[in-house]
Amino acid sequence: MQARTKKTFRDLWRQRTQVIAVGITIALGVMLYITAAGAFQNLTASYDATYDRLGFADLIATGGDPEQVAQAALDAGAAEAIARTQVDPPMLLEDTKLLGRVVGLPSDGRAPVDDVDVVEGDYLDPSAPDSILLESHAAGTFDLGPGDSLEIYTATGWHAVTVAGVADSAEYLWPARSRQDVLSDPHSFAVVFADEATVQEWFATGPTQTLALLGEGADEETVTAAMKDAGASAVTTQDQQPSQATLNEDLQGFDQMSVAFPALFLIAAGVAAWVLLTRRIIQERPVIGTMMAAGARRGRILRHYLAQGALIGLVGSVVGAILGAPLNSLATSAYTGVLGVPDTVVRNYPWMIAVGIAFGVLVGALGALGPAVVASRTAPAQAMRPIADASPPGAWSRLVARMTGVPVGLRMALRDLARSTRRTFATMLGTVLALVLVLASVGMMSSILEAIRIQFDEVELADATVTVQDASGAAGAIEAMEGVAAFEDVVAGEATILANEESYETALTGYEPGTAMHGFRGVDGETLSVPADGILVGHALQDLLSVDVGDAVTVSTAAGDSQTTIAGFVDEPMGTSAYASLDTASAMLPPTGVTSHSLLFTEDADRDAMRQAITDVDGVVAYQDSRAILSIVQQYLGLFYVFIGAMILLGAVLALAVMYVTMAVNVVERTGELATLRAAGVPLRRVAGAIATENMLATLLGVPIGLLLGVWAAQAFMDTFNDDLFSLTVRWSWWALPAAALGVLLAALASQWPASRQIARVDIARVVRERAS
């Protein structure tokens, strides 16, 4: 083994604890990258596998004559295009009444677009017109399977049907009714598939939608334009489809975090490697001078120290890759299992592992580059001369020296902060990086929790919504029921808002003036009210449709087109909905034969008992518990909490690793000074106290900067989730920032213990002999 190689391993072994800390930081960064980026790739592949297998529509059009729109799509280059019927009628599943969805499937074979995968039972039998397929999420919620029965409210009243099979659908991988209703009570929504001709007969209607599947070479814009020219009022792309849009939101989160969080760890590792090797080279100046005087070339010195950083990076990144590969598979399987994605693709991508390892090696080498260049450019004669451990005393040092009322240890610490700015900067930088990672995680968690609170405490105020048959008398019976504190009429339906040649599909809801069932938050935090004229819309439409308050828009529903104006913009954490007065919305939406009412319960009301009592009333066709949505949200946030918790834990590990390296190196580089103090009779406790005080002061200096950058990083992460589905702003709990600062300070304090042990092990006699020589 060459002497240089022996020296490399010997030097790394001599500072093995610091080297291990740097390696752990690199390993965590690479592990996070492979886990998150691999999960992103696997989830994308899993969704695509299901979409391709079932022919998930690229374009969904509403309005016009669906048959003509389908033909126009085919003429414009679409590979497949079909017209189908979709209706949202009341349903009765077991004892639960809800507003469901019936989707037509072709009578003469499997659907070429938006087919279903029967996972239990049989496909539709044309000879059994009353058989249906039940979407798998609803089947699981209500524990229904082949042979079970349910009822659908058709044009002629309640109609009993039999479940022939349970099916997965690419349209409902996430069971969302619409883009504004992606989170709902699972007991309030169910999708069934039935023969297309039978659906049209049940509801006395024709096709309501056109679905198009683009082939190779087909241009989306061309086909969309052709469908609109043929009479379609709105065309929704696959990316805008409610289920796909919701799932894609999570995918984008994986994509963003697969870069940002690992980058923080790798930057921290680079800083730690730089600190470690910089101070090593300062210590080894005489050795470097001797080597160069003996004929060692500058390039050899450069490669020697670069190799140390690259070796740390290589070992750390290999360990990270070994840990990341199984975690990638675990994360993918856990995610698809929770969501019930039919196709789970689990792969470990060799290119991704290679990139992760390359990043780790690069970070180690870059951390060593600056110190290595300095070492290679040192003149032998200069290297043989002693170098001061710090800058000469300046104004700050003289000022501190005059503070006679301050204890000597504290004065030493205050003086050394300015005398060794490089050491102080390294400690501050470690503090800043740890706070950025912790606050980015804590900020996301606290913001999500606050958004949920706002949504269900300030926006969605109703406890439940009930739909009843017109003239059934059920409304009066419910209003008089014990436990009902308030009762209001409400009307809701799907609508498309058009302006400036752009369109947006949303939900239009009409409330009574001065309603107590819904709160309207303005974009500036002000409270809005239901307008007498015009509509309130989510503030995302300001950019999506290029509109402002007072602008005219067209509201298109099944009843036709209506002209109105934008009365204001609302700021709601979830969704981009439209709101109007009860009279305005009723005039825009088609009659349905049923009416809806929002309810507030008394504080002592039993929600389960109220659900049962209300659904037992004759004439009630659907019931939705608004507060049950909160339970579903919290259930699906389980994976999110696990991830954020892991990030906070890893942030603490990062803080400990970087601070340990920085502070251990601080002791090593000051060995001569410490030995002199010990030889002069200064007690160990006072020496260790002075060093610890300096380190803690440098940490305190970094805390404000870390808090500022951490708040900025949290907002930057949240901005990646903002669109028309979610409007999230970083909101901090009162304890978040103080707790993060306290946690980093505790990490710094914990790092003083091994540093103190290192001070106690200083060999005073050896240091004195080395200095004398």
Instruction: Tell me what the mean pLDDT of segment 590-598 comes to.
Output: 85
- As a whole number of angstroms, the distance between CA 495 and CA 372 comes to 66
| Of the candidate ranges 417-421, 720-724, 765-769, the one whose mean pLDDT is the lowest | 765-769
Q: Do 632 and 186 meet the contact criterion of CB atoms below 8 Å apart?
A: yes
| Residues 771 and 693 both lie in one domain | yes
pLDDT score of 135:
95
pLDDT score of 74:
94
Mean pLDDT comparison of 379-388, 621-630, 697-706, highest-scoring range = 697-706
User: Does residue 662 register a pLDDT over 80?
Assistant: no
Helix (H, G, I), strand (E, B) or coil at 571: coil
With respect to residue 254, please indicate whether it lies within any of the assigned structural domains: no
How many alpha carbons lie under 13 Å from residue 608 in its C-beta half-sphere?
Answer: 0
The whole-angstrom distance between residue 106's C-alpha and the CA centroid of its chain comes to 38
User: Does residue 260 register a pLDDT over 90?
Assistant: no
| Residues 765 and 675 both lie in one domain | yes
pLDDT score of 650:
73
Nearest residue to 576 (alpha-carbon basis) of 547, 536, 624, 633: 536
With respect to residue 19, please indicate whether it lies within any of the assigned structural domains: yes
Instruction: Tell me what the mean pLDDT of segment 489-517 comes to.
Output: 90
Residue 117 structure tokens: 């995968």
| Residues 587 and 560 both lie in one domain | yes
pLDDT score of 457:
86
Nearest residue to 569 (alpha-carbon basis) of 556, 579, 581: 579
pLDDT score of 640:
67
- As a whole number of angstroms, the distance between CA 125 and CA 193 comes to 12
Q: Report angle CA 119, 46, 325 to the nearest 5 degrees.
A: 125
| Residues 495 and 595 both lie in one domain | yes
Helix/strand/coil (H/E/C) assignment for every residue in 1-32: CCHHHHHHHHHHHHCHHHHHHHHHHHHHHHHH
pLDDT score of 485:
93
With respect to residue 255, please indicate whether it lies within any of the assigned structural domains: no
- As a whole number of angstroms, the distance between CA 596 and CA 351 comes to 55
Total-model pTM: 0.70
Q: Do 234 and 59 meet the contact criterion of CB atoms below 8 Å apart?
A: no
User: Does residue 409 register a pLDDT over 80?
Assistant: no
Q: From the CB of residue 600, how many other CB atoms can be counted at a distance below 10 Å?
A: 16
Q: Report angle CA 182, 185, 191 to the nearest 5 degrees.
A: 70
Question: Which pLDDT band, with edges at 50, 70 and 90, does 1 fall under?
Answer: very low
DSSP one-letter string for 268-288: HHHHHHHHHHHHHHHHTHHHH
- As a whole number of angstroms, the distance between CA 694 and CA 428 comes to 11
User: Does residue 637 register a pLDDT over 70?
Assistant: no
Terminal Cα-to-Cα distance of the chain (whole angstroms): 30
* Number of domains, the chain: 5
Instruction: Tell me what the mean pLDDT of segment 328-339 comes to.
Output: 82
Buried b (16+ CB within 10 A) or exposed e, 696-733: bbbbbbbbeebbebbbebbeebbeebeebbbbbebbbe
Q: Do 441 and 253 meet the contact criterion of CB atoms below 8 Å apart?
A: no
Select the more confidently predicted residue: 644 or 176.
176
Instruction: Tell me what the mean pLDDT of segment 493-501 comes to.
Output: 89
Helix (H, G, I), strand (E, B) or coil at 466: strand
Mean pLDDT comparison of 212-226, 261-275, 375-389, 678-692, highest-scoring range = 212-226
How many alpha carbons lie under 13 Å from residue 704 in its C-beta half-sphere?
Answer: 3
| Residues 647 and 589 both lie in one domain | no
| Residues 516 and 618 both lie in one domain | yes
pLDDT score of 517:
94
Select the more confidently predicted residue: 636 or 312.
312
Beta bridge partners of 213: 80
Own/partner pairs, 559-564, CB within 8 angstroms, 24+ separation = 559/588, 559/589, 559/590, 561/233, 562/587, 562/588, 564/533, 564/534, 564/535, 564/588
With respect to residue 247, please indicate whether it lies within any of the assigned structural domains: no
- As a whole number of angstroms, the distance between CA 513 and CA 533 comes to 11
> Beta strand 234-237 with 594-601: parallel, antiparallel or unpaired?
unpaired
For 97, 131, 576, the CA distances from 148, given in Å and listed in that order, are 16, 10, 37
Question: Which pLDDT band, with edges at 50, 70 and 90, does 770 fall under?
Answer: low
Q: Do 746 and 658 meet the contact criterion of CB atoms below 8 Å apart?
A: no
pLDDT score of 38:
87
Helix (H, G, I), strand (E, B) or coil at 706: helix
User: Does residue 704 register a pLDDT over 90?
Assistant: yes
pLDDT score of 762:
65
With respect to residue 251, please indicate whether it lies within any of the assigned structural domains: no
Residue 682 structure tokens: 């200064």
Nearest residue to 115 (alpha-carbon basis) of 33, 202, 56: 56
| Residues 216 and 161 both lie in one domain | no
Q: From the CB of residue 535, how many other CB atoms can be counted at a distance below 10 Å?
A: 27
User: Does residue 503 register a pLDDT over 70?
Assistant: yes
| Residues 356 and 471 both lie in one domain | no
With respect to residue 248, please indicate whether it lies within any of the assigned structural domains: no
Residues 6+ positions from 145 with CB-CB distance below 8 Å: 120, 121, 139, 163, 166
The last residue of one of the domains, among 352, 387, 422, is: 387
Residues 6+ positions from 612 with CB-CB distance below 8 Å: 95
User: Does residue 418 register a pLDDT over 60?
Assistant: yes
- As a whole number of angstroms, the distance between CA 22 and CA 317 comes to 11
Domain residues for the domain of 63 are 58-82+212-238
The last residue of one of the domains, among 348, 370, 387, is: 387
Sign of the CA dihedral 739, 743, 746, 748?
A: negative
Question: Which pLDDT band, with edges at 50, 70 and 90, does 767 fall under?
Answer: low
Q: Which alpha helices (H) appear in 514-553, and where do they start and end? A: 541-544
With respect to residue 250, please indicate whether it lies within any of the assigned structural domains: no
| Residues 533 and 593 both lie in one domain | yes
Helix (H, G, I), strand (E, B) or coil at 724: coil
| Residues 467 and 616 both lie in one domain | yes
pLDDT score of 755:
63
pLDDT score of 649:
76
| DSSP summary character for residue 240 | G
- As a whole number of angstroms, the distance between CA 275 and CA 121 comes to 65
- As a whole number of angstroms, the distance between CA 578 and CA 566 comes to 10
User: Does residue 720 register a pLDDT over 90?
Assistant: no
The pLDDT mean for the chain works out to 83
Give the CA dihedral 473, 475, 476, 480, nearest 10 degrees: 140
The last residue of one of the domains, among 591, 625, 659, is: 625
For 77, 157, 212, the CA distances from 226, given in Å and listed in that order, are 10, 38, 12
- As a whole number of angstroms, the distance between CA 695 and CA 427 comes to 7
pLDDT in tens, 41-91: 898 899 999 999 999 999 999 888 999 999 999 999 999 999 999 998 889
Question: Which pLDDT band, with edges at 50, 70 and 90, does 222 fall under?
Answer: very high
Beta bridge partners of 564: 553
Helix/strand/coil (H/E/C) assignment for every residue in 348-404: CCHHHHHHHHHHHHHHHHHHHHHHHHHHHCCCHHHHHCCCCCCCCCCHHHHHHHCCC
Which percentage of the chain shows pLDDT scores above 90? 29
| Residues 600 and 489 both lie in one domain | yes
| Residues 756 and 771 both lie in one domain | yes
With respect to residue 440, please indicate whether it lies within any of the assigned structural domains: yes
Residues 6+ positions from 327 with CB-CB distance below 8 Å: 31, 34, 35
pLDDT score of 229:
92
| Of the candidate ranges 212-221, 390-399, 419-428, 749-758, the one whose mean pLDDT is the lowest | 390-399
H helix or E strand, kind and range, residue 596 = strand 594-601
For residue 274, which amino acid is it?
W
